Amino acid sequence: MSEPNHARRLGAIWLVATLIATPLVIFVLGPVLPPGNGSEQASGHVTDNTVLMAVMTPVLLLLIVYFVYALVAFRQEPGGILEGPAIRGNARVQIAWIVVTSAIVLSLAAYGTARLLEDGAGSGGGSSPVVVPAGPKLQVQVIGQQWAFTYRYPSYGGVETPHLVLPVGQMVELHVTSLDVVHSFWAYQLGVKADANPGQDNIAFVKPTELESFSVRCSELCGLWHGYMFDHGNVVSAADFKSWIAQQRVKFAPSQKLLPPYSTTYIPEPARRAG
Amino acid sequence: MSDTEAAERAAMPTWRRLLGFNLLTAVILAIVGYYFGWWLGNQFSSSSRDYVADLDYNDVALILAYLFGVVGFLVGLGFANYPLARLIGRPPSLRAKEGRGVSRYFGLCTDHKVVGMQYLVGIGIFFFVGGVNAMLIRLELLNPTPTTIGPSQYLSLVGMHGTMMMGMMTSGILGPFANYFVPLMIGARRMAFPRIEALTFWLLMAAGFILMSTIFFGGFPTGWTGYQPLADQTVAGMDSYLCFFALVGLSMTLLGLNMLATIISLRAPGLTWSRLPIFVWAVFATSILMVLAAPMLIGTLLMAMLDRTIDTSFFVAGAGGSSFLYENLFWFFGHPEVYVLALPGFGIVLELIPVFTRKPLWGYRLAVAGMLGVSLMSFFVWQHHLFVSGINAALRPFYMLSTEIISIPTGFIFLCVMGTLWRARITLAVPMLFCLGWAFNFLIGGLSGVFLSDAPSDTDTHGSFFVMAHFHYTIMGGLIFTFFAAIYYWVPKMTGLSFNERLAKVHFWVMFIAFNSTFLPLFVLGMKGMPRRVSTYADNLQGLNVWVSVSAFVLGLSMLVFLVNLVYSLLIARNRSPHNPWRSKSLEWQTPTPVPVNNFEQIPVIESDPYDYGVPLAGNGVS
């Protein structure tokens, strides 16, 4: 019995599997991938995740098909002591592998860079972000402290509220900072994450596109009640936002006088532990 | 010691035999040193009070107590004898306790085979402790709100689990298997620095107990990363973390130096670099990382200690310090560290697969290039841990690129494994099963890493359960699976006894299925928005969390299967293993079992690499 052409068989199985799986990943799995379409940035992440998944599927299938095939086709018979062929390498296969893997990872890096530079991707971009989206922006400051976030609206008299409410369709410029230890502001449905560092301003941009409630969680371990450092925010219409912020200004007017003046960073006292 | 000496000792009464430099003395001196340090610290520093945790503590006293405790421990074991003997002009003994008997396993012994066994058992115990912590974490996560464990204890468990695993398991393969087998594989009679070899082990054991002692001082809430300024703010349990990791760093640095020196200078005649077993290459690449990265950790933790004790402010914002500084320093060590965990696994897989496929290793040079490439590249990727932190945000494209590029040399390893399987004669023995398990797990781990290396996508996954699943796939799926492959492959050589194969196969299948059933859903949980290190989560995630917890308990059970097998096979049944059960052509299997103290009667001359499979009637490369 002559040896079948393993390479051709493998290639055929892989090709069929890829042709079936990749469209499924793109068109069935893609649309349900997180974090949803709460903002332009979140929708961007869905696209990114879909692209990454689509590129990964053929790679994953190639390896799995290969390993399963090898385990089925290239077995020692039970109790056998046969030796395999003494092949020590194949320059063409090696070069092809290096070229293909390099091409894949370099194009992924290029794609990631392009997407990052498009609108900052909702990711904390430091105190002077490289990418600043054009157009008017609503500034909101996110202040992390053990164990809650508060939000300041400098363009509305610096009012500070315990809830984040954003107008829909408006580009928001979040300035994230901390009063004590490192926190991380994570608005899941909006696709935004930025670390809150003491004495540092960390800017992220987000443009909410859907009227919805979103969750905010701290995603950097910040001590005892880290797991409880969450709240909910809302994306509302422009008119609702106007009336909400007016209410907040009235409601928090008494405490506003006691707060320090608005600043993009708050450097904590080098206060040591109690004692 | 000589035979007459041994006979004399045996004739002594028990109390007399307990005197001397041994583990008992070491423990006593450790306790004495501990209380001396404690007393000394209290002389010039007053204690602080933490009103939240309701604790009194004195960082200076605790750190000095640990320091003097470790010194006492090492002196008690006899580590000071050699330098002191040299100082007073006495002829020092070049080798310590290399005689026969069980007692050499419980003290300072410079025989690399004894140290290897010590490491295997010592690390095994701490691996078990870290595993129990994981079980408790999953117990708590059965419910979306805290039930069994309070938030403080929960964070301590998370921190202890992570730190124990990341700290102790860095030596998980290099400690037991490289110490035992590198000299055998390169035809040497010992390691280059036998006393340092013993020192690395006992430092690690001292460190392990220091980490466990954190529960007496309030634990630490920072996880294994010890981020500042949280670490500066918290109670004395943090000092245990700092001392533990600094000692582990010291042990790693010394272990790496010793390996490099041994591999460079003690190779047998004819063992050129291109004939070096691939496992030795993996150890070499790992050691480079250890030597270059671990000192960074020691320095960083020293700065953190100074911040906590004498109020320097390296990491305190507003007093000239920065939390970014700590993050940079930590991850400059921390990223090479994860390759310290991954590379030895590559070596084990590449070393074992030729044996069970009866083929030479495919693409030897490519595999070496892959491992050296990973080891070099791993110094240029650390800021991908800080994509959303706001640090050097303009450099994110660079770190994205370097992180993506590191998957090219990692891909070489996969290609070599696949090439070796091509038209092979595969036997699915237990070590081979674990190697194949590695291939699947590391594939998932590597591909999920692509999401994290992509800065836009990382915005969602950073700090979530997705990351947690990713690094458990690469570390547990990569390192621990190959750790067990190495155990099943080499312990028959180390002990001369064979494992029960049926139980071993049950162990593999339960572990492999439960591992994937535990960690695959965690990717989903992370993508659904569950952060790491929390004991509370959204109600709608409970179903998946219960699934994960139950799978994790089964995973824990698979470890019990292993323990049962270990006890049954090595202590009860004691079936002798055939001399070379895997018909390996590698040099370590050509030595007699048990391996004589001096390994080789005559240093072998090497004439080929150890992968002479597939050529009928070829010699084993040893003349």
Q: Report pLDDT for A271.
A: 53
**Sign for the pseudo-dihedral over CA of A205, A210, A211, A214:** negative
Smallest CA–CA distance from B325 into chain A, residue: A197
pLDDT band of residue B1 (cuts 50, 70, 90) is very low
Q: Is the same domain home to B541 and B573? A: yes
Q: Report pLDDT for B17.
A: 72
Q: A238: which 2 tokens?
A: 């422009």
Q: Report pLDDT for A259.
A: 85
Q: Is the pLDDT of residue B2 over 70?
A: no
Smallest CA–CA distance from A76 into chain B, residue: B425
Q: Is the pLDDT of residue B351 over 90?
A: yes
Q: Is the same domain home to B239 and B384? A: yes
Share of chain B above pLDDT 90, in %: 76
pLDDT 10s digits, B288-343 = 999 999 999 999 999 999 998 888 889 988 788 899 999 999 999 999 999 999 99
pLDDT 10s digits, B420-458 = 999 999 999 999 999 999 999 999 999 999 999 999 999
Partnered with residue A177 across adjacent β-strands are A143
Highest mean pLDDT among A82-86, B279-283, B603-607: B279-283
Looking at residue B46, the DSSP 8-state letter turns out to be P
DSSP chain A: -PPP-HHHHHHHHHHHHHHHHHHHIIIIIGGG-TT-SSBHHHHHHHHHHHHHHHHHHHHHHHHHHHHHHHHHHSBPPTT-----------HHHHHHHHHHHHHHHHHHHHHHHHHHHHHGGGB---SS-S---SS--EEEEEEEETTEEEEEEGGGTTEEESS-EEETT--EEEEEEESSS-EEEEEGGGTEEEEE-BT--EEEEE-B-S--EEEEEE-S--STTGGG-EEEEEEE-HHHHHHHHHHHHHHTHHHHTTSPPP-S--PPP---S--
Q: Is the pLDDT of residue B239 over 50?
A: yes
Q: Is the same domain home to B190 and B144? A: yes
Q: What is the mean pLDDT of chain B?
A: 91
pLDDT 10s digits, B62-79 = 999 999 999 999 999 989
Q: Inspect the interface and report whether the beta carbons of B319 and A270 lie closer than 8 Å.
A: yes
Q: Is the same domain home to B44 and B150? A: no
Q: Is the pLDDT of residue B3 over 70?
A: no
pLDDT 10s digits, A206-234 = 999 999 999 999 999 999 899 999 999 99
pLDDT 10s digits, B273-282 = 999 999 999 9
Residue B599 lies in a domain: no
Mean pLDDT, rounded, for B10-23: 77
What is the rounded end-to-end Cα distance, in angstroms, of chain B?
A: 32
Q: Is the pLDDT of residue B148 over 90?
A: no
Q: Inspect the interface and report whether the beta carbons of B221 and A221 lie closer than 8 Å.
A: yes
Q: Is the pLDDT of residue A240 over 50?
A: yes
Q: Which among B408, B457, B529 is the nearest to A45, CB-wise?
A: B457
Rounded to an integer, what distance in angstroms lies between the CA atom of residue B309 and that of residue B242? 12
Q: Report pLDDT for B53.
A: 63
Cis peptide preceding B547, ω within 30 of 0: no
Last residue of a domain, one of B51, B68, B94: B94
> How crowded is the C-beta side of B117, counted as CA atoms within 13 Å?
20
Q: Inspect the interface and report whether the beta carbons of B464 and A219 lie closer than 8 Å.
A: yes
Q: Is the pLDDT of residue B98 over 70?
A: no
Burial of B312 (0-12, 13-18, 19+ CB in 10 A): middle
Rounded to an integer, what distance in angstroms lies between the CA atom of residue A91 and that of residue A178? 55
User: What is the identity of the amino acid at B580?
Assistant: N
CB B384 within 8 A of CB B457: no
Q: Is the same domain home to B307 and B416? A: yes
Q: Is the same domain home to B123 and B83? A: no
Q: Is the same domain home to B264 and B354? A: yes
Q: What is the mean pLDDT of chain A?
A: 91
Shortest distance between the Cα of A6 and any Cα of chain B, in A, equals: 9
pLDDT 10s digits, B283-301 = 999 999 999 999 999 999 9
Q: Inspect the interface and report whether the beta carbons of A102 and B534 lie closer than 8 Å.
A: no
Q: Is the same domain home to B84 and B157? A: no
CB B149 within 8 A of CB B139: yes
Contacts of B323 in chain A (CB under 8 A): 181-182, 197-198, 200
Q: Is the pLDDT of residue B613 over 90?
A: no
Q: Is the same domain home to B51 and B190? A: no
Is A197 in CB contact (< 8 Å) with chain B?
Answer: yes
Q: Is the same domain home to B130 and B193? A: yes
pLDDT band of residue B176 (cuts 50, 70, 90) is very high
Smallest CA–CA distance from A67 into chain B, residue: B418
CB A108 within 8 A of CB A55: yes
Residue B494 lies in a domain: yes
Q: Which of A68-82, B45-59, B158-172, B492-506 has the lowest mean pLDDT?
A: B45-59
Indicate the helix (H) or strand (E) that contains B50: strand B48-50
Rounded to an integer, what distance in angstroms lies between the CA atom of residue B358 and that of residue A85? 8
Query: Domain containing B26: what range?
Result: 22-94
CB A30 within 8 A of CB A37: no
Cβ atoms within 10 Å, residue A77: 9
Smallest CA–CA distance from A216 into chain B, residue: B529
Q: Report pLDDT for B318.
A: 77
Mean pLDDT, rounded, for B3-21: 69
Q: Report pLDDT for B5.
A: 58
Q: Report pLDDT for A210.
A: 93
pLDDT 10s digits, B31-66 = 999 999 999 999 888 777 666 666 778 899 999 999
Q: Report pLDDT for B439.
A: 96
Mean pLDDT, rounded, for B403-419: 95
CB B608 within 8 A of CB B275: yes
Residue B162 lies in a domain: yes
Residue B15 lies in a domain: no
Q: Is the pLDDT of residue A1 over 60?
A: no
Is A253 in CB contact (< 8 Å) with chain B?
Answer: no
Q: Which among A105, A108, A195 is the nearest to B389, CB-wise?
A: A195
Q: Is the same domain home to B76 and B116? A: no
Adjacency order of strands within the sheet including A159-161: A159-161, A148-153, A138-145, A172-178, A202-206
User: What is the identity of the amino acid at A266?
Assistant: Y
Residue B467 lies in a domain: yes
Q: Inspect the interface and report whether the beta carbons of A94 and B415 lie closer than 8 Å.
A: yes
Smallest CA–CA distance from B528 into chain A, residue: A34
Q: Inspect the interface and report whether the beta carbons of A274 and B151 lie closer than 8 Å.
A: no
Q: Inspect the interface and report whether the beta carbons of A34 and B460 lie closer than 8 Å.
A: yes
Q: Report pLDDT for B623.
A: 33
Residue B10 lies in a domain: no
Place of tokens 């069994």: B148
Shortest distance between the Cα of B543 and any Cα of chain A, in A, equals: 18
> Considering its fold, how many domains does chain B have in total?
2
Q: Inspect the interface and report whether the beta carbons of A199 and B317 lie closer than 8 Å.
A: yes
Q: Which of B289, B293, B255 is nearest to B172 (CA)?
A: B255
CA-based angle B574:B578:B583, to the nearest 5?
Answer: 145
Q: Which of B12-26, B314-328, B516-530 has the lowest mean pLDDT?
A: B12-26
Q: Inspect the interface and report whether the beta carbons of A74 and B439 lie closer than 8 Å.
A: no
Q: Is the same domain home to B36 and B162? A: no
Share of chain A above pLDDT 90, in %: 76
CB B190 within 8 A of CB B183: yes
Residue B100 lies in a domain: no
Rounded to an integer, what distance in angstroms lies between the CA atom of residue B502 and that of residue B490? 18
Shortest distance between the Cα of B205 and any Cα of chain A, in A, equals: 28
**Sign for the pseudo-dihedral over CA of B10, B12, B18, B20:** negative
CB A18 within 8 A of CB A66: no
3-state class (DSSP) for residue B57: strand
pLDDT 10s digits, B376-390 = 999 999 999 999 999
pLDDT 10s digits, B240-274 = 999 999 999 999 999 999 999 999 999 999 999 99
Rounded to an integer, what distance in angstroms lies between the CA atom of residue B34 and that of residue A226? 34
CB B200 within 8 A of CB B171: yes
CATH assignment of the domain containing B170 = 1.20.210.10
pLDDT 10s digits, A46-59 = 999 999 999 999 99
Contacts of B359 in chain A (CB under 8 A): 83-87
User: Mutation test of the interface with chain B: which of A59, A111, A181, choosing the one with the most B Cβ atoms within 10 A?
Assistant: A181
Residue B5 lies in a domain: no
Rounded to an integer, what distance in angstroms lies between the CA atom of residue B292 and that of residue B192? 19
Q: Inspect the interface and report whether the beta carbons of A200 and B390 lie closer than 8 Å.
A: yes
